[in-house]
Amino acid sequence: MDRITIAKSKTEQQRNLYKPVFFRLNNPGEKKQFDELLQTEDIFLYDEIVPQLQEMFKIRNPTKQLTDEEYDSLIHEHTNGDLINYGVWVYYPWSKRMVHLLDEAEFIEVRTSRNQYKITLRERDILATKVIGVIGLSVGQSVAVTLAMERSFKEIRLADFDLLELTNLNRIRTGVQNLGLKKVISVAREIAEIDPYLKVTIFEDGLTEENMDAFYLEGGKLDALIDECDGVDMKILCRVKAKELGIPVLMEASDRCTIDVERFDLEPDRSILHGFVDHLDISKLKHLKTNEEKMPYLAPIVGLNTISARLKASGVEIGHSITTWPQLASAVALGGGAVADIWRRIALDQYHESGRYFVDMEELVGNKQRKENTDVVPNPFHPLELETLKDVAAKIISADDKSGITLTQEQVAAIVDAAGTAPSGGNAQPWKWVYEKGVLVLFFDRYFGFSFMDYKDTASMIALGAAVENVILKSHELGFETKVKYHPEGNSDDAIASFTFFTKGSSEEGIEPHTDDNLSKVIFRRHTNRRITQQVELAQDIYDQFQSCVSSIKGAKLKFFHDPAILEATGRIISETDRYRVLSPQSHYDFTYQEMRWTEAEAIERKTGMGITTLELSPAHLLGVRLIRDPKVVAILRDIDGGKVLSTASIKNMTTASAMGLLTIEGTDQQAFLDGGRASQKLWLKATELDIAFHPMNVPVAFFQRLEQNAPDMPPGITPHIKELYNEFRKMTGYKGLDGNESIIYLFRVFKAPEPQILPYRKDVKDILITA
C-alpha cells in the first residue's frame, strides 16, 4: 500500500473516533501507553495544569486575594511537587491533541464553579444523575452542547443518521474539516472537548424502531427526550414510546423559538403533540413516502397559524426556489439555550407543566408601532337593506310595469331561489330582490360585488345577467311569460332590471322567447368543477349544441381551442396572472378577506364566498393556500420574486382539458355584460345538461381590462408583462379587444370529470328577497 492509501485508511478510522483516551501517569500501564504514543505519533501537547490548579485554589479561597507565592506553595503541597504525573492526560485521537487536565472531581468543581448559585451544588449533583436523549442534531447540536456546558446530565444519547454538509454550517458550529463527518460523531467530539468526563452514547443510524428500546432504556431509562429530528413519522413515534415509558419530551422548532413541553411523566394520559394529531391515523406513518402524503401530519405539528411570515413564505418556495425549511444560527442558538433552561428546571422539580410556548425576538424586541397598510382599499360599501329597497322599488316601478299578473309568494320565492343559484365571481352573489305591485326588481348590491376581480363592475354584471337568465327559465317552467326591462346604466338606485309576468301564451309585446327552456331542469345542478382528470376528446355534436344555445343572445360569440400548444400557452397566461393576483396587495386582500371562507363555520354563517374545502385541493396545495393567507407572507414573496408554485395548477388544468373556450360579447357597456351573463348561463347549463364539467378561469380578464383602459390601479411593475401576455392571447385567440368593441365574458375549460363532493353555500331566499 502506498502512503496516500495508508493515510486515507487511517483517516477513515479516525473519522469514526469520538471517545477520548485517559492516561493517569501514576498507573504504570497507562504511563507506558502514554510514552509509546508520544514516540509513535506526532502529537500536540497542551499542558495548562498550573492555571487550572490556580483557579481551583482561587475558588476554594473566595475571601482571600492569593499571591503568586501562595499559589505556588499550595500547588506544590497539593501535588507533592509532581506536576507531570498529577491529574490526567486526555488524548483526543481525531485531532492528535493531548491535554493535561484536573481529574474528574476537581475538574467538575472548577468547571462548574461559575454556575453557582444559579445552579447550587446540590442541584449540580442532582443533574449529574440524569440521562438525556437528543434526536436530530441541527437544533439538537446547540441543545446538546449547551447542556454539556452547564453539565446538566450524567449521560447523553445522541441519534442522527446524517452527515455534515456545507449547507449545515449556517447553523451548526463546527469547522469545514468536519464536512462528511457523521453529525453524532461531530457533536460527541465537541462535548468530549468541553468535558471528557461526560458519558456520550451515539446512535449512528438515527432513532429507528429497531434501536428505540436501547435508546430509551439500555443503561438506564431516559429522564427526558429532546426531539429535534426532521422526520414526521419519527416525531410522532418517538412520542408514542416516550408516553408509554412516562418520559417527558421537549422540542424547540427554531422558528419564533417555538417550544413544546409534554410531561408524560406527570400526565400519562396526555395526548401526544398537545392533541394536534389526534384526528390522524398514526398506523399509516410507516407507509408515508411523499411530501404530499406527509403534509396532513406535518401541518398540525408545525402550527400554520403561529409560524412566522418568513417561514410561511419559505414553505411556499420549497421545491421551487429552495429545497428545504430554512434555519438560522441565531435561532438555533437561542433554542439551544431555551431547551437547556427548561430541562434544568424539569430535572430539579421546579417546572411541572406542559404546553407550547414562544420566545419570539421580533415581538419582544421590535417596533411597537405597526406600519399601516396603505396598499389596500377596504370595501367602502354596505349591504343593501331589503326594507329600504322596498320603498325604492315602489318609486321606480312605472305604470307599464304593473300590466302583468300577480304571483303568489311561493312562486316568487321559487323564481328568486333559482336566480340565486346563478354563478358569480368568488360566489359573491351580488344581488337583492324586491317583489312589489306585481313586479320583481333586481338590485345590484355593490357590497358583495366589490373586488379587484370585478373591474368596473363587469364581473357583477355577468353574474346579474346569469341571474336574469335563470328568472326567465324558471318562470317559463312555472308556466308564465316574462318581460324584462333593463334600467339605465349608472342609475343612483342600482336597479338593474324589472320583471313582469304574464299568463302562458300571452301576446304582450317584448316578452322573452322560449329558447332552451329545458335548461331550467338543471339550474340547481350547475356547479364549478375544478378537478384535474385525464384528457378526453368530446364529440363535435357537443360543441354544436354549445354554439346553438349561445346564438340566441345577440352579439355573443363562442370559440373553442383544442391545439395542445394553445392549451399550454393559455394555461401559462392564466397561471402567471393567478400569481399576480395573489401577490398584488389589493387583489390578495380581496381574495383573503372577501372571497375565501377559511373554516366550515364561517362558510355556513356567511353563505357567500368560497369555502376552502370546495376547492378540493391536495394537502400540499391546501397548505400553500393557507400559507399565502398572511399578507406579510405575500410581501416577502413579492420581494423575492417568489410564488412560482402558485402558477402551476392552472397549466395542468388547461392542458388536461378537452378544450379551452372563449365566450365574448359585442359591446363594452353594462348591457353588453348583462347579455353576456345570460349567454354564459345558457352555455353553462347546457354543459351541465350534457354532463360536461365546466370551469371558468377568468383571472387574466381582470388584468387585461385594466391594461385596455390604462387603469390606475394596475399593480405596480407588472404592466409590461401583462401587455406581453395580452398580445400573445389576442394573437392566439383572435380576440379583438376593447378597440374592436369586443368584451370577454368567460375564459373557461370543458372536460369530463366526476362532480365535486362539496359545493359552496348559497344565501337563503329570505336574505335576498322581500315581497310586499
Distance CA 211, CA 99 (A): 35
Q: Strand, helix or coil at 381? A: coil
Which residues partner with 434 through β-bridges? 441, 770
pLDDT band per the 50, 70, 90 thresholds, residue 622: confident
Strands 431-436 and 769-771: parallel
92 preceded by cis ω (within 30°)?
no
Phi, psi dihedral angles at 350 (to 5 degrees): -110, -10
For residue 737, give the C-alpha cell: 379587444
pLDDT value for 399: 60
Q: What angle do CA 621, 626, 628 make, to 5 degrees?
A: 95
What is the residue whose three cell numbers read 388536461? 656
Cα–chain center distance at 713? 28
Q: Which residues contact 92 (CB under 8 A, 6 or more apart)?
A: 20, 98, 99, 189, 192, 193
Check the CA dihedral 145-147-150-151 and report its sign.
Answer: negative
Any idea what DSSP says for residue 37?
A: H
Percent residues over pLDDT 90 in the chain: 82
Residue 365: strand, helix, or coil:
coil
Alpha-carbon distance 151 to 194, whole Å? 10
Confidence of residue 287 (pLDDT cuts 50, 70, 90): confident
State the average pLDDT over residues 181-188: 97
Please provide the average confidence, as pLDDT, over all residues in the chain.
93
What is residue 400's predicted lDDT score, i.e. its pLDDT?
Answer: 59
Cell of 571: 394555461
Instruction: Check whether 479 has a pLDDT greater than 60.
Output: yes
Reported as type and span, the H/E element at residue 693 is strand 693-696
What is the rounded distance in angstroms from the CA atom of residue 97 to the CA atom of residue 697?
Answer: 69
The upper half-sphere exposure of residue 428, i.e. CA atoms within 13 Å in the direction of its Cβ, equals: 29
Q: What DSSP line would sit under 537-565, residue for residue? A: PPPHHHHHHHHHHHTTSTTEEEEEE--HH
Query: Residue 307 in contact with residue 255, Cβ under 8 Å?
Result: yes
Mean pLDDT in residue range 214-241: 96
Question: Rounded mean pLDDT of 56-75?
Answer: 96
Torsion of the alpha carbons at 671, 675, 676 and 679, rounded to the nearest 10: 180
Q: State the Cα–Cα distance between residues 241 and 246, nearest whole angstrom.
A: 9
Calculate mean pLDDT across residues 373-394: 89
Give the separation between CA 166 and CA 445, rounded to whole angstroms.
59
Instruction: For 462-480, give the secondary structure using H, E and C.
Output: HHHHHHHHHHHHHHHHCCE
Residue 8 has pLDDT above 60, yes or no: no
Read off φ and ψ for residue 58, nearest 5 degrees.
Answer: -65, -45
C-alpha–C-alpha distance, residues 581 and 586, integer Å: 9
Q: How far is C-alpha 681 from the geometric centre of its chain's CA atoms? A: 35
Cβ neighbours of 45 (radius 10 Å): 10
Q: Is the pLDDT higher at 455 or at 400?
A: 455
Angle at 717 between CA 597 and CA 735, to 5 degrees: 75
Q: Tell me: the pLDDT tens digits for 739-756?
A: 899 999 999 999 999 999
Q: Which residues contact 724 (CB under 8 A, 6 or more apart)?
A: none
- Give dist(CA 489, CA 494) in Å, integer: 8
CB of 502 within 8 A of CB of 511? yes
Place of cell 481529574: 103
Q: Which residues contact 180 (CB under 8 A, 6 or more apart)?
A: 15, 163, 164
Question: What does pTM read for this prediction?
Answer: 0.87
> Contact 663/678 with Cβ under 8 angstroms?
no
Alpha helix positions (H), 219-290: 232-245
CB 153 within 8 A of CB 145: no
CA distances from 250 to 157, 261, 269, 394, 600 (A): 15, 5, 17, 69, 33
Confidence of residue 153 (pLDDT cuts 50, 70, 90): very high
pLDDT band at 463 (very low <50, low <70, confident <90, very high): very high
pLDDT score recorded for residue 5: 47
The whole-angstrom separation of Cα 664 and Cα 679 is 9
Per-residue pLDDT reduced to its tens digit, 674-703: 999 999 999 999 999 999 999 999 999 999
Burial class for 91, CB neighbours closer than 10 Å (0-12, 13-18, 19+) = buried
Q: Report residue 410 as a C-alpha cell.
A: 311561493
Which helix (H) or strand (E) is 227 found in, with range? strand 224-227
Confidence of residue 401 (pLDDT cuts 50, 70, 90): low
**Least reliable range by pLDDT among 44-53, 152-161, 507-516, 535-544:** 507-516
Euclidean distance between the first and the last CA atom of the chain, given in angstroms as a whole number: 104
User: Is residue 625 scored above 50 in pLDDT?
Assistant: yes
